[in-house]
Amino acid sequence: AMQVHICIAMGLASATETPITPPAQLKERFAARFRTQDDFSSLVRNLGNRPAQQPHLQHIQAARTHFHNNAATGNSLGKDVARVEDLTLRILFSMMNQYGFETWCPDLSDSPSSLYNNAHRAFAVDSFQQACMMGGYLWFGVIPEQYQDTFLLAKIYDSYVFGTLKDKARKEARDPGALERRQEANLIGKRRRSLAANRELFLRTNGYPDRVIKAVAGSYCASEDE
């Protein structure tokens, strides 16, 4: 659920999408606003005193449309993202406004412990906890013992953002289109395994001998569209 939350904040709705590099102007404006960790810590301490801005309904609807369009393509991430309730989206975008993020865009080329990236991590953990406390991500089976553990969530965040997503971004940069080709290969393999299983079931049900079944067993004997 935490990984899905991160993808929503980044606007990623497919396993073939990778995070963008934050524009220089975005980081410059952040640096002008938060010169030290104390500046950011002061903001976090006073979040309760800041008026919660309600994100425009069009913002949520645009996100919802994007997520549903990707879910229709059959990719698993898109389906998971599309299951997230509108309440969770409202909490996410409202808190993004409170934190002062124009867009939520960690810098994977920078140190995970930089002030810029620390702020993004803090927002991700805080907004995820708030969403869970308000009943978000119930479909994923998240329990209080998990989402209340800030240290655990920070570890999950670093592993996913600066491990999985960073690695995917590097691979895509070296070989554009690699992620899409890999996903298609995975889908082909899945279809072949399904066909092979159905074929074996048919042969056994109709009394074919084992030597015949073994001769055509395995996904390598099945095409994806037979």
pLDDT in the model for residue 132 = 93
Q: Give the Cα separation of 51 and 49 in Å (integer).
A: 6
3-state class of 196 per DSSP? helix
132 contact partners, CB below 8 Å, separation of at least 6: 1, 142, 144, 147
Q: Which pTM was predicted?
A: 0.73
Pick from 64, 55, 54: nearest CA to 85: 64
**Within 10 Å of residue 175's Cβ, how many Cβ atoms?**
11
Q: What confidence tens digit (pLDDT) does each residue in 31-67 have?
A: 998 988 898 888 888 776 655 555 556 666 776 676 6
Residue 28: is it exposed, middle or buried by C-beta count within 10 angstroms (0-12/13-18/19+)? exposed
* Span 72-97, pLDDT tens digits: 555 667 677 777 888 888 888 888 88
